[in-house]
Structure 1
Amino acid sequence: MSTTVIEDAHVVTMDGGRAEYAGGHLVLENDRITAVGPGPAPRPEGARVVDGRGCLLTPGFVNTHQHLYQWVTRGLAVDATLFGWLTELYPVWAGIDEHAVHTAASGALSWLARTGCTTSTDHHYVFPTGGGDLLAAEIEAARAVGLRFHPCRGSMDLGRSAGGLPPDEVVEDRDAVLAASADAVDRWHDPSPGSMLRIALAPCSPFSVTGELMREAAELARDRGLRLHTHLAETLDEEDFCRERFGCSPLEYVDSLGWTGPDVWFAHAVHLDDAGVKRIGETGTGVAHCPSSNARLGAGIARSADLRGAGVAVGLGVDGAASNEAGSLLEEVRHALLFARAKGGPQALTVRDALEMATLGGAAVLGRSGDIGSLEPGKLADLALWRIDGLPHADIADPVAALVLGSPPPLDLLLVGGRPVVERDHVLGVDEDALAREATAVHKALLRKAGR
């Protein structure tokens, strides 16, 4: 039995009563939390004791939307809209292979860890012919970094010649997609409590996937007990595409294909009318809110406060690193708060609401509310210990405001299932300097392949 005690931290539990303890403690045994509360904790013989003085202890963050492979294609099309950005980057992405994806995923996941993330999804939908086993490459990267991982086997089968946006060389045959999706589930999906690895199915978007693939992927997922994910209502270009091609909004279109429900979550959901917000709420569908990427691409500001008010589980996502070069989940917490207030006034979202989206909200979106998202006895020991006693934060009255509104604080400790992943702002499982050099080399090689 391995026991760790964290003492004298400001503990934000995110439990049902939203309890917080100044000078509180948390005890974990192996991969589970066994106690949390005010004051000092009992110290079992042989326990590791972590001094939390000057620190804020929170649940680990949950990243609900990402494209890890894009870490090695950052800084391109920086002033483009979504459709223009995709058009410029698809030829570059056509050159990715196992090595590129492993390098990119290692970099993106390491930085997510450095910014408080303990569980991440990924939406990988580009599978060039001859690229190798790309899903396996990112799964191995997640294992090395140490994060809990929910990769989504994405897909595109609607190429440009058939009226879609992606070039034909980066789309797949529908039967091949379904076979590969089933194989991914057989190889990797672990539905057990405490799982470190779960698979979801994720056809890319209404403008890159046929209705037939959307339907059949949903049937496969529900037959195997998986979750479903896709991009939706991200831009007005997408709205125009769906109205011209299908005669309805993006939400109405996917709803007609069976793509709403408590096993589904949408990335973005920026352009929704009141009826759309209500429909997502009444069906129990989740949303991954990606404020930084939406701002970077000029897509707009999602109605996060309205969605939450409609009972929608709203989590946060950094989105692809090529549309959010920062790749920081903590930054999404700050931006979610600021953008909601810019749109709806100072009462639209509180600092604790923003933190809730990064923790409990993300856990609900991924169907893991019973495992992660709060610091409670019986839950997995996924947690972040932030140092807030330095010059940037020491005199900020509210520790949660210090985290959400202040500059990013040092991350003293990140545990995933009780195992240390980050200590004193250093990711333990990777050589960050070597990884930075390799990411640069891969970036240059991809540009050469694309004739740039």
Structure 2
Amino acid sequence: MIDILICDAHLYVDREWEIPDGWIAIRENRVHAVGAAGDPRPEARRVISARGRLVTPGLVNAHHHMVQNLTRSYAPVTRSKLFTWLQELYPLWSALDEEATYLSTYVAMVELLLGGCTTSMDHMYVHPRPRLIDAQFSAARDIGFRFYATRGSMTRSVEDGGLPPAALVQDEETIMADCERLVGLYHDRAPGAMGRVALGPASLFSASGQVMRDSVTLADRHDLRLHTHLAEDMEEDDYSLSVYGCTPTEHFEQMGWASPRSWVAHYIYPSSSEIDRLAQAGVSVVQCPGSNMMIGGGSADVQNLQERGMRVGLGCNGSATTDHGSMWMETRNAMLLGRMRGGPESMGAREALDMATRGGAACLGWEDEIGHLRPGACADLVIWHMSDVALAGALTDPVEAWLRCGPAVAGTTIVNGRILVENCEPCLPGLGGILRDHARQARRIQRLD
């Protein structure tokens, strides 16, 4: 007996595989089968009609900073460049504790679910207190969200020529010991895992060469992914040349990071030869279009990266730069940026959706199980909802209409075979209390009390 049967949908199974009037069957936590209108449907405990709706794989968020929703739309930095923005907010994030981290992660994951995301990484690189990532895993378990924690780190404070205050940096020994601890506790290598761990020194201007090299060693020993920010801002180029005598990409290569284990966020200012070298090495890239436009620092040339052989995913980045956690919005932004840069023929909804699904899964090294709905995949999917007014007249292409006509929200979000959003609302009865506690913590951290 099938657990859930979703029928009468335009089913986007994977790139170049769509079923216009299709059904999808879920058994336990896997996609059991897909079929067209005339194919025999299996019996199911629950049948969901998705007539007139688009069903896609759950979107994969390949770069995020969840705790930043505690300082969303923070007035003093709404017109700041990246480095100034960081210097203003770092002192506020020094007040993070386990409760604030749990609440901000919980809220971030709910927001992601409402925007159609079923798997997200989080790059947690501020550690003013111990065991903050443990609190994140607690939130993910309480919700039932598929979570890829990235243990970020910073070693270089403002006193050492970096940007963060001393309260947010740690020494290399402390960082690597905690990485080992987290991998032992939470990194699940099994198929269908709900929790995994990657290593992520924040950036070359905030993490020492030693922690970059030690992260590679640990990743090789435990077969882990590696993640960092790279070539995000022109000021990063100036810093790298003054400190290391080379470009950010050259430093990345010298530290041993140019390998298929690595995926990098932003990658806006590389040279053509640097792109070719990292593509040859198997490095993937995450574009964060909303954040890039909000900060005003440029955005990755996705088509150029892809043409040179790089896999590209999408990310929301921190909620304090984008001020939202909707992967639907990021997918639409990616499409619009691509068309603005390369013309209308260069990017459509399907190319953007592929980045938000297969592309993100490639960044996380998880293409076998997530980012598509082929039989055997993890049962992570979205039935999209749009108003009849927004869709009026959109009769010929439901995938293009999904991004062009919007706004779209998740009507139903299923993760690991469990319905977590239904009728556009989270299936989380305690959410009201979480939001009240989150508001209290946000006021404390923004020093408004």
Place the TM-score, normalised by the shorter chain, in its bin: over 0.9
How much does 1:247 deviate? 1.4
Q: Is residue 2:51 matched to residue 1:53? A: yes
Are positions 1:433 and 2:432 aligned together?
yes
Residue of structure 1 equivalent to 2:331: 333
Select 1:72's aligned residue among 70, 93, 99.
Answer: 70
Give the count of matched residue pairs. Answer: 446
The residue matched to 2:391 in structure 1 has which SS? coil
Whole-angstrom distance in 2 between the partners of 1:263 and 1:308 = 18
Kept after mapping to 2: 8 A contact 1:5/1:41: no
How far does the alpha carbon of each residue in 1:407-437 deviate from its partner, in whole angstroms, 9 at most, with x for none?
Answer: 2224221111211111111111353433332
- Corresponding residue for residue 114 of structure 2: 114
C-alpha contact 2:266 2:299 (8 A) present in aligned 1: no
Letter in 2 for 1:434: G
- In structure 2, give the amino acid aligned to 1:204: A
Partner SS for 2:236: helix
1:177 CA drift (Å): 0.3
| Alignment-derived partner of residue 207 in structure 2 | 209
Q: Secondary structure at the match of 2:252?
A: helix
Q: CA deviation at 1:14?
A: 1.2
Q: Structure 2 length as normaliser, TM-score?
A: 0.96
CA distance in 1, matches of 2:195, 2:142: 13
Please state how far the C-alpha of 1:37 moved relative to its aligned partner. 2.5
Q: Report if the CA contact (8 A) 2:125-2:152 is conserved.
A: yes
Which letter does structure 1 place at the counterpart of 2:421?
V
Bigger Cα displacement from structure 2, 244-253 vs 58-67: 244-253
Superposed displacement of residue 236, structure 1: 0.6
Q: 1:8: which partner in 2?
A: 8
8 A contact 1:54–1:389 mirrored in 2: no
Q: Which letter maps to 1:22? A: P
**Contact map agreement 1:26 1:41 (CA 8 A) in 2:** no
| Paired position in structure 1 for 2:161 | 163
Write the distance in 1 (CA, Å) between the matches of 2:147 and 2:365: 13
Contact 2:29 2:379 in 1 (8 A): yes
Aligned-pair CA distance for 1:222: 1.2
Confirm or deny that 1:139 pairs with 2:133: no
CA contact (8 A) 2:287 2:299 kept: no
Q: Which residue of 2 aligns with 1:98?
A: 98
* Superposition deviation, residue 145 in structure 1: 2.2
SS at match of 2:196: coil
Find the aligned partners of 1:178 and 1:45 in 2 and give their Cα distance.
51
SS of 1:254 mapped into structure 2: helix
Letter in 2 for 1:123: H
* C-alpha distance in 1 between matches for 2:179 and 2:306: 32
Q: Is the 8 A contact 1:25 1:38 kept in 2?
A: yes
User: Could you tell me how far apart the structure 2 residues matched to 1:281 and 1:244 are?
Assistant: 26
- The residue that corresponds to 1:442 in the other structure is 441
User: Conserved in 2, the CA contact under 8 Å of 1:126 and 1:170?
Assistant: yes
Counterpart of 2:212, as a letter, is M
Where do 5+ consecutive residues of structure 1 fail to align? none
Q: Which amino acid in 2 is paired with 1:12?
A: Y
CA offsets 1:145-183 (integer angstroms, 9 cap, x no match):
221110001110111222212122210011000000000
What is the one-letter code of the residue matched to 1:327?
A: G
Relative distance call for 1:148 and 1:104 in structure 2 (3 A) is same
Q: Secondary structure at the match of 1:198?
A: strand
- In structure 1, what residue type is equivalent to 2:89? L
The answer for the alignment partner of 1:187 in structure 2 is: 185
Q: Does the 8 A contact of 1:159 with 1:165 survive in 2?
A: yes
Residue 394 to residue 410, structure 1, CA distance change in 2 (3 Å) = farther
Change (3 A) 1:257 1:158: same
Post-superposition CA distance 1:175-230 (Å, at most 9, x none): 00000000000011001011111100000001100111100111111111100000
Aligned pair partner of 2:380 in 366, 370, 382: 382
Task: State the SS of the aligned residue for 2:195.
Answer: coil
Question: What is the one-letter code of the residue matched to 1:199?
Answer: V
Q: Distance in 2 between matches of 1:29 and 1:236?
A: 50
**Which residue in 1 is equivalent to 2:353?**
355
2:393 corresponds to 1:415? no
What TM-score results when the alignment is normalised by the length of structure 1? 0.96
Percent same amino acid among aligned pairs? 39
